[in-house]
Structure 1
Amino acid sequence: MLQNEKKRSFIELGKFLSQFSEDNSSKKSTVLHNDLFFDDFIELIKLSQSHNGWYTPEQVYFSIQSWAEALTEENLNQWLSAYDFQINEPKNIALILAGNIPLVGFHDFLSVLITGHNVVVKTSSNDQHLLPFLAKYIIAVDPGLANKITFVEGKLENFNAVIATGSNNTARYFEYYFKDKPSIIRKSRNSVAVLNGKETKEQLTALGEDIFRYFGLGCRNVSKLFVPKGYTFDAFFEAIFEYQDVIHYEKYANNYDYNKAVFLMSNFKLLDNGFLTLKEDKSHASPISSVFYEFYDDINDLQIRLQSENEQIQCIVSNNLIENSIDFGQTQKPKLWNYADNTDTISFLLTI
């Protein structure tokens, strides 16, 4: 299959996804196969929360819009222009996907197909419906893809390499089980923000997006703040107040009540605004509804430390305080070339 044909399938998928938003989903006559897929996708989005309680319509629509913005011809060209796509023969690439946020495994799925390989997908029990639906759409656009996409429920068989995502515990199992196969094994990571007290209210409000999007369940969600000695959180709490409605979602509220009670029973000192707790802690991985914080003395020393802990960190948010950090509010809008764990998936797939 020619590279342009594969790319075209995903451009058409991007156009299809661009029709859907929480406020106003609108069918466009120029989009391919709307008669077969538009209404069914609306219905699937409505049912997503019954499949996974964290997949509220707001979160699912956000994920869909993010992929619609990513899957443009311009973005795909910019992403793919850095690679030579000559491969000897297609291999079967197994994907073991996570299910913490909607379509979290789509980038791996896209990468395998765009490199000309065949994809064998084992979805998470928490996200079994969205990706198979999108696969059906691109097969409708290009029927030649039908023989290159397989979803499996049981044991993975007949594959040449694997990309697996899980916790640190499951990663150890993956590393042992797949020790004889080329692999990318992704472990747990968290994202952090570095503040210096000079952030604007708009920047701190945008930081709230990095914290609360997907209820904090993603590896790109900020779960830890680094702040200078003497920092007070008044401006931070004022700026994130607009996210207060998160506490009205039962699953989040249950986590807030439980984790707050655990902290208080352990006599930890907490800062609390009624829907988010802040706890001073050296760990990066905070529980749902809580963000850890830590004071720093010198920004240069902090940068050295963060570099030494890079295998624990997915991304860093700051106002250009840390090298290669990203802007506030952008953690859940990665570009196609922003690879998870900084592992170049395309390069891996092209060298198998």
Structure 2
Amino acid sequence: MDLNQRITAFSKLGLFLTDFLSTEDKNELALANTERLQLEFSEVLVAAERKNAWFTPANLKLALTGWAESLSVDNLNNWISAYSFSERSLSKKVAVIMAGNLPMVGFHDFLSVLISGHSVLAKLSSDDKLILPFLAKVLIEIEPQFETKIEFTESKLTNFDAVIATGSNNTARYFEYYFKNKPHIIRKNRNAVAVLQGTETTNQLEKLGDDIFRYFGMGCRSVSKLFVPRDYNFDAFYQAMFTYKDIVNHHKYANNYDYNKAVYLMSLFPILDNGFLVLKEEETFSSPISVVFYEHYENIDSLQKQLKEKEEEIQCIVASGFDQKEVNFGQSQKPKLNDYADGVDTIAFLLKI
């Protein structure tokens, strides 16, 4: 199976997702059982939500829509055009330890390993163990040669050549020790931050709400901290956030909001609160669910230097006119194929092993 075959197969998987999400005319997939697979996929998603209450229909749709758009022939070709691929007579087996905080959060690693011509040995999180195996099944229906290249396991990882592991800072230390003799990518905790300058439009602030609230703020690209000028007035910010007030109707989010607010009040910490989002002044980056930290800055130059020094803790910076690598408001949850987690080029790593 050459690179063009792999690209074609994944682009057809993208068409499968597009068809599944669409209420309009369907694309013509060369699968005799597409309708049955789509019905089965609906059942899988219901089961996934039942298994993990954070996987709401809206968040599942958001994740699936993102991948349906990414897995086009043009997007895939543009992505891999930056690399020099050489077909291998013997591919490597790459173990991938996946997180489960967001739906399909491990799909990019799954795609990267297979598009590079390797085999994947996936160890799924118990929080997200239904969706990816089903999509692998569809991918094999599209291109049967993938059957020998995809394996899922719940056992101890054995017989692999390299590893990509995602976890917390604590588990990363374990991963680094355990996999020290294998080529590896080990990912740790990271968060997105937003830089406000007080000149943002209402539309920009409302889009920032997407960066904060999508996936309940549980992703590494979710904005967990704001940097604001001294004497910043949060009235416009909170007014824009009101669009997302219904998030507190989700019982797990509401429980986190009530708990974190109570802890801060009992500890006599000064906070800002609008009934569904707490703002707390804090130097660290990783805020709990329903809370966003904030910190004042004196000037742009000093803030740029500060964030440069802390870049290993930051996944991306949401801003407008602050930094060349900034992400536009509302776009942090819509990464492109070459927006690699922790800034580590996964394809470059896979092509070297």
Q: 1:190 to 1:29 in 2, by over 3 A?
A: closer
Kindly provide the CA deviation profile for residues 182-232 of structure 1, in whole angstroms up to 9, marking residues without a partner as x.
000000000000000000000000000000000000000000000000101
SS of the residue aligned with 1:127? coil
Shift >3 Å, 4+ stretches:
24-27
The match for 2:28 is 30
The within-5 A match list for 1:263-274 is 263-274=264-275
User: How big is the shift at 1:46?
Assistant: 2.0
Q: Which residue does 1:249 correspond to in 2?
A: 250
Supply the AA of the counterpart residue of 2:210.
Answer: E
Amino acid aligned to 1:98: A
In 2, distance between residues paired with 1:327 and 1:232? 21
Is 1:326 paired with 2:331? no
Work out whether residues 16 and 32 of structure 1, in 8 Å CA contact, stay in contact via their aligned partners in 2. no
Deviations 1:104-128, CA, capped at 9 Å, x for gaps: 0000000000000000000000000
Quote the residue 1:70 is aligned against.
70
Q: CA deviation at 1:45?
A: 1.6
Task: State how far apart, in whole Å, the 2-side matches of 1:27 and 1:123 are.
Answer: 34
1:30-69, aligned counterparts within 5 Å?
Answer: 30-33=28-31, 34-69=34-69
Q: Letter of the aligned partner of 1:186 in structure 2?
A: R
| TM-score between both structures, scaled by the size of structure 1 | 0.98
Aligned residue type for 1:322: D
Give secondary structure in 2 for the equivalent of 1:147.
Answer: helix
Aligned to 2:11: 11
Q: Please tell me the residue identity of whatever aligns with 1:331.
A: S
SS at match of 2:322: coil
Q: Specify the SS of the correspondent of 1:18.
A: helix
1:199 aligns to what?
200
Q: Unpaired runs of 5+ in structure 1? A: none
Shift of 1:266: 1.0
Q: Which segments of 5 or more consecutive residues in structure 2 lack a partner in the other structure?
A: none
In the alignment, is the contact (CA less than 8 A) between 2:2 and 2:87 conserved in 1?
no
Q: Tell me which residue corresponds to 2:110.
A: 109
Deviation at 1:36, TM superposition (A): 3.3
Task: Give the superposition deviation at 1:27.
Answer: 6.8
Tell me, what secondary structure is at the counterpart of 1:20?
A: helix
In 2, are the aligned partners of 1:94 and 1:119 still within 8 Å (CA)? yes
Q: Which residue is equivalent to 1:292?
A: 293
* Contact 1:20–1:61 under 8 Å retained in 2: no
The secondary structure found in structure 1 opposite 2:19 is: coil
Alpha carbons 1:205, 1:239 under 8 Å: kept:
yes
Superimposed CA distance per residue, residues 5-63 of structure 1 (whole angstroms, 9 cap, x where no aligned partner): 00001100111111234xx6557251343133111111212222111111011100110
TM-score by length of 2: 0.97
Q: In the alignment, what sits opposite 1:335?
A: 336
The 1:223–1:83 alpha-carbon spacing in structure 2 relative to 1, beyond 3 Å, is same
Aligned to 1:171: 172
Deviations 1:233-255 (A, max 9, x none): 00000011010000000000000
Paired residue type of 2:286: A
* Matched length: 350
Counterpart mapping for 1:175-194 below 5 A: 175-194=176-195
Q: Aligned in 2, Cα 1:179/1:27: closer, same or farther, shift over 3 Å?
A: farther
- Structure 1 position 305, deviation (Å): 0.9
| CA deviation string 1:262-314 (max 9, x = no partner) | 11111110100000000000010000000000000010110011111110000
Contact 1:216 1:222 in 2 (8 A): yes
Preserved CA contact (<8 Å) 2:15 2:27: no
Closer, same or farther in 2 for the Cα pair 1:212/1:32, shift >3 Å? farther
- Counterparts of 1:229 and 1:18, CA distance in 2: 46
Contact 1:277/1:289, CA 8 A, preserved across alignment: yes
Contact 1:27 1:38 in 2 (8 A): no
The AA in structure 2 aligned to 1:333 is K
**Counterpart Cα distance in 2 of 1:201 and 1:37:** 43
